[in-house]
Amino acid sequence: MSNLAFSQVVNFDKLAEQNASYSTTIDTEYLPRLKEACVKVLEPVKAQFKFYVDLQGMNTIEGNLETKVSFICQRCGKEYTQTLKASFLSTCDEEKAKSLQIEDKVDVVELNEDGTFNLLSFLEDCLLLEIPFITTHEEGSKECQEVDNLEFGKIEKSKEDNPFSQLAALKEQLKQNK
Ligand SMILES: [Zn+2]
């Protein structure tokens, strides 16, 4: 497990004043809830984010995350790979947002009682929010269709070999012979 390039819990205001910016990867071992929500997280999460004070004086975090995960397709039951991408722009200055009357337009993150910010779990939350409610292959995916065709073929074949349909045909013959 590689080390994290940032602290799991940080001082949001201080990092914003310092214009702290990060371009790093997050080992999946640090993201237990994401691992739990997927079959597999296939690669470390690429993370780029920065803290800054925006033009209205609000302490802000902005960035994006990307990784590849696998899910079970709820249509065909096969495992498939999906890229999860999240982008975010959030502030911790709820009071200032309210005084500017933009609290509905900005995403406000909560700080802990002691004023610290759970950076790692915030990033994990951003990825969790990108997980689709229903996980399936893309519409029209070949892999998903192959299974449909296979099942269709099986049904066609089983009709021919069905002993009951042969019995029904025999009964029909006997009727005609009477
Ligand atoms: Zn599928």
Residue 12 to residue 21: CA distance in whole angstroms? 12
Which tens digit of pLDDT belongs to each residue from 92-148? Answer: 999 999 999 988 888 999 999 999 999 999 999 999 999 999 999 988 888 887 654
CA of 153 to the centre of ligand 1 (A): 18
The structural domains of the chain, with segments of one domain joined by +, span 9-137, 138-178
**Ligand 1 geometric centre to CA of 14 (Å):** 47
- Residue 70 Cα to ligand 1 middle (Å): 12
Q: 74 CA distance to ligand 1 centroid (A)?
A: 7
| DSSP letter for each residue of 34-64 | HHHHSSEE-SPEEEEEEEEE-TTS-EEEEEE
Determine the distance separating the centroid of ligand 1 and the alpha carbon of 80, expressed in angstroms. Answer: 7
The SS3 of residue 24 is strand
Give the H or E element holding residue 17: helix 12-17
| 43 C-alpha to ligand 1 centroid (Å) | 22
Measure 170 CA to ligand 1 centroid, in angstroms: 41
- 71 CA to middle of ligand 1, Å? 10
List of residues 6+ apart from 157 with CB closer than 8 A:
none
| DSSP secondary structure of 113-168 | TTS-EEHHHHHHHHHHTTS-SS--PPTT-HHHHHHHHHHHHHHHHHHHH-HHHHHH
**83 Cα–ligand 1 center, Å:** 16
pLDDT (average), residues 35-49 = 97
pLDDT, residue 104, reads 87
Q: Which residues neighbour 155 within 8 Å (Cβ) at sequence distance 6 or greater?
A: none
pLDDT in tens, 8-25: 999 999 999 999 999 999
User: Which of 18, 13, 28 is closest to 91 using CA atoms?
Assistant: 13
Residue 176 has a CB neighbour count (10 Å cut-off) of 7
- The confidence score (pLDDT) of residue 149 equals 53
For residue 133, the CA-to-ligand 1 centroid distance in Å is: 15
**What sign does the dihedral 46-51-54-59 (CA atoms) show?**
positive
How many Å apart are CA 175 and CA 178, to the nearest integer?
5
Write the pLDDT tens digit of every residue in 45-99.
999 999 999 999 999 999 999 999 999 999 999 999 999 999 999 999 999 999 9
Distance of CA 142 from the midpoint of ligand 1 (Å): 9
3-state secondary structure at position 177: helix
